[in-house]
């Protein structure tokens, strides 16, 4: 059938051609012969460019929901009228996306009938979509007016040029569109040849320049960040070079904020990231080199966060081929920005800042001493930071962090020993990351990780054996993840995998299982690793010994060594001994027999016992029971006050029908829900 689009659920039977788009000799052609360069998502569908037949090659958008019936050409242009190559798409809401292309602006619901051109014959190009003031602003090209500021509501009538800033066919080239209070800030070139800061309320009359910075001499604006009542931006002035400026939205309140590198030399402030009430950015001065700065919008509050590499040497390498070396909003976790810096002592390591000098520090020396851990590909997913680093022992492996030193560790030694699995294309997909890696056996293949060793594994050996399939371009599109890979037979082709299949760490706990999120949360936290062989055994009753271990692990309380003297049936060396004895020491458990002292570690845990243990482990002393919460738990029931307390805390709602079923055994799946809820474990 030629080059067509396929999908796979990871089995041979489930690996099928989605649709034979071109049934004659010519095949579907994807721009530049690189399928992965043109994948983008359109709601729950995948969008790409293809050519179908004809002597003239005209690229048009196709869409797919992963089924043959749902794979169709979105729009067709006659050969010779130009390609309709989507350069970007923007979700407008209400099931409508905006598609920008060299032929103009389109609105689509993903069907041919629902795809219309906005302002045809007038608007010939669009980009830089920015929602603000109840509409979407963008930069549009009109042959009569050049590049100017436009806005749209997704209809042709509601798509209009805001004003003609440059006049005539000259272009003002609006850039850096940034919402600011009840206005939109942007840079543009007016009647003079210089770039100025402008603001608009969405009307022509309300679009004015903020020109108090030496009128006519601001010749470049690099970025704009709103901080509430003011906006900080980088601007180039003849007297100070590229420095940090500020505006309150008025001409009088627009000025140079700080000349970091005094004189006409530029400090070149770059990579702005907003953290709370400040913007953090990199800047260069002759005394400290390239370091991290912060500003709250005042001159006094524009400060060097830390001279990480003391003196004129720079700690930040902005010329690295890895984007991870440049601070990015994507690297913010828990209100802190993670970045890579070299202090001249520890090598290139992982640092973080909360936007204050006191909160800027080395987070972890991954390769202790002067060696560099060289962390890269910083990616936040599921409330965790993932990255690739070398600890000097295991090679460049996958690491993760929950923002604490104790929660920062190598996930798995994928290529055992000092070898490197060559991790590439680290991509956040929901609560986990996808990436390609070579474990030394299967070649470069598709892997996933949720941050736990048991949850880090090869998804599929697409090119069997040591031959690499080199998957890349992972694109989240509704219920599927699309990517490009080479199976060694057909070359690089598009593949897809159901997202539900990726999300499940355990074979017996699919993503639709009622306790899936809770089981995954405990796994990522290191509380559990399942019951073995890739399973969790969610329906299996949990024993009193297992409960002791899981409870303290979920609470984050490591026990001291056991003595073997507390219970006769928990001798020294018993696998759960330390946890059982710690719970007994705290008064959470007293065993199942006083004389002789027994714990009954192999007995199944009941729901009533679970209520007592969780309540006491949380340090709570419940009031007397009312006997009115559950029909099968009267006030005089031995565990009634603990059960009612658990219900009052929102940890349980019973077993249904107004009952609690106190004597039923607790399953491993149910216990995951109870533990994660009781101790506030973050859910994916």
Residues 270/244, Cβ–Cβ less than 8 Å: no
* 214 φ, ψ (degrees, to nearest 5): 40, 85
| CA atoms of 148 and 124, how far apart (whole Å) | 12
- Candidates 283, 281, 258, 261; CA nearest to 271 is 281
Inter-axis angle of helices 668-678 and 516-524, nearest 10: 70
- Quote the pLDDT of residue 250: 93
CA distance 382 to 402: 10
366 compared with 3, residue with greater pLDDT? 366
pLDDT (tens digit, 9 = 90+) per residue, 179-231?
A: 999 999 999 987 666 788 999 999 999 999 986 555 545 567 889 999 999 99
Residue percentage of the chain with pLDDT more than 90: 63
CA distance 146 to 169: 5
User: Greater confidence, 565 or 168?
Assistant: 565
Tokens 């500003």 locate to: 295
Q: pLDDT value at position 61? A: 66
pLDDT (mean) for 448-468: 93
CA distance 648 to 653: 9
| Bridge pairing between strands 303-306 and 40-42 | unpaired
Q: Is the pLDDT of residue 352 over 60?
A: yes
The Cα–Cα gap between 161 and 635 comes to: 72
Confidence of residue 66 (pLDDT cuts 50, 70, 90): low
User: What mean pLDDT do residues 610-633 have?
Assistant: 95
SS3 555: helix
Task: Identify the pLDDT of residue 189.
Answer: 86
Average pLDDT in the 35-46 region? 40
> What token pair was written down for 641?
């006050």
Q: What is the DSSP string of 512-580?
A: TSTTHHHHHHHHHTTS---SBTTB--TTSBPBHHHHHHHHHHHHT-PPPPP-S-S-TTS-TT-TTHHHH
The structure tokens listed for 668 are: 């491993």
Q: Which of 29-38, 437-446, 672-681 has the lowest mean pLDDT?
A: 29-38
- What pLDDT shows up at residue 37? 26
Coil, helix or strand at residue 48: strand
Q: What is the mean pLDDT of residues 340-358?
A: 94
| pLDDT-wise least confident of 88-102, 174-188, 634-648 | 88-102
Largest CA distance in the chain: 98
Can you tell me whether residue 610 is helix, strand or coil? helix
Region 391-414: mean pLDDT is: 95
Q: State the DSSP code for 543.
A: B
| Residue 60 pLDDT class (50, 70, 90 cuts) | low
Q: Cα–Cα distance between 490 and 368 in angstroms, integer?
A: 45
Instruction: Using CA atoms of 564, 566, 571, 577 in order, give the dihedral in degrees to the nearest 10.
Output: -80
Weakest-pLDDT range from 5-9, 327-331, 451-455: 5-9
Mean confidence (pLDDT) of the chain: 86
pLDDT at residue 312 is higher than 90: no
């Amino acid at each position: 059938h030629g080059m067509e689009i396929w999908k796979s659920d990871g089995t041979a039977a489930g690996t099928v051609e989605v649709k034979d788009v071109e049934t004659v000799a010519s095949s579907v052609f994807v721009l530049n012969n690189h399928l992965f360069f043109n994948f983008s998502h359109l709601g729950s569908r995948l969008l790409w460019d293809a050519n179908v037949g004809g002597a003239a090659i005209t690229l048009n958008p196709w869409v797919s929901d992963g089924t043959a019936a749902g794979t169709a050409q979105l729009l067709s242009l006659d050969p010779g009228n130009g390609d309709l190559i989507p350069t970007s798409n923007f979700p407008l809401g209400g099931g409508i996306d905006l598609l920008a292309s060299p032929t103009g602006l389109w609105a689509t619901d993903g069907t041919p009938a629902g795809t219309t051109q906005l302002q045809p014959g007038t608007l010939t190009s669009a980009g830089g979509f920015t929602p603000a003031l109840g509409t979407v602003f963008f930069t549009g090209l009109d042959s009569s007016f050049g590049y100017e500021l436009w806005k749209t509501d997704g209809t042709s009538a509601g798509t209009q040029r805001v004003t003609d800033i440059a006049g005539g066919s000259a272009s003002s080239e609006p850039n850096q569109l940034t919402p600011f209070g009840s206005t939109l800030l942007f840079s543009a070139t007016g009647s003079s040849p210089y770039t100025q800061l402008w603001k608009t309320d969405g009307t022509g009359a309300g679009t004015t320049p903020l020109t108090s910075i030496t009128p006519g001499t601001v010749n470049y604006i690099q970025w704009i960040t709103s901080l509430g009542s003011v906006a900080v931006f980088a601007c180039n002035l003849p007297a100070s070079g590229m420095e940090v400026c500020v505006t309150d939205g008025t001409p009088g309140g627009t000025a140079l904020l700080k000349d970091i590198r005094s004189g006409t030399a530029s400090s070149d402030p770059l990579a702005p990231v907003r953290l709370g009430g400040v913007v953090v950015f990199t800047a260069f001065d002759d005394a400290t080199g390239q370091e991290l700065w912060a500003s709250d919008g005042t001159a006094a509050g524009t400060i060097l966060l830390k001279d990480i590499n003391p003196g004129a040497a720079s700690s930040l390498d902005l010329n690295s081929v890895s984007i991870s070396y440049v601070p990015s909003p994507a690297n913010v976790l828990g209100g802190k920005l993670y970045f890579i810096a070299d202090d001249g002592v520890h090598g290139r390591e992982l640092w973080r800042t909360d936007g204050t000098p006191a909160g800027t520090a080395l987070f972890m020396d991954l390769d202790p001493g002067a060696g560099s851990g060289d962390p890269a590909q910083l990616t936040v997913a599921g409330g965790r930071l993932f990255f690739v680093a070398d600890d000097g022992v295991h090679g460049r492996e996958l690491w993760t962090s929950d923002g604490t030193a104790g929660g920062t560790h190598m996930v798995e030694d994928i290529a055992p020993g000092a070898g490197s699995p060559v991790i590439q294309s680290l991509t956040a997909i929901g609560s986990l990351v996808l990436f390609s890696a070579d474990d030394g056996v299967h070649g470069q293949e598709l892997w996933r990780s949720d941050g736990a060793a048991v949850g880090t594994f090869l998804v599929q050996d697409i090119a069997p054996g040591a031959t690499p399939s080199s998957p890349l371009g992972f694109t989240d599109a509704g219920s599927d993840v699309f990517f490009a890979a080479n199976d060694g037979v057909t070359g690089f082709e598009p593949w897809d995998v159901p997202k539900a299949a990726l999300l499940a760490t355990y074979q017996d706990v699919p993503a639709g299982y009622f306790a899936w999120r809770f089981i995954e949360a405990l796994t990522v936290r290191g509380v559990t690793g399942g019951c073995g062989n890739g399973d969790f055994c969610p329906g299996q009753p949990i024993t009193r010994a297992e409960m002791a271990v899981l409870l303290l692990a979920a609470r984050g309380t490591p026990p001291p060594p056991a003595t073997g003297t507390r219970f006769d049936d928990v001798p020294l060396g018993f696998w759960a001994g330390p946890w059982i004895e710690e719970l007994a020491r705290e008064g959470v458990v007293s065993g199942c027999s006083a004389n002789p002292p027994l714990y009954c570690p192999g007995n199944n845990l009941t729901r009533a016992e679970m209520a007592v243990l969780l309540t006491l482990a949380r340090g709570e002393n419940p009031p007397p029971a009312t006997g009115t919460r559950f029909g099968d738990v009267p006030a005089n029931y031995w565990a009634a006050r603990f059960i009612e307390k658990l219900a009052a805390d929102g940890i349980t709602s019973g077993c249904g029908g107004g009952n609690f079923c106190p004597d039923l055994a607790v399953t491993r799946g149910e216990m995951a829900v109870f533990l994660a809820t009781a101790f506030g474990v973050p859910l994916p």
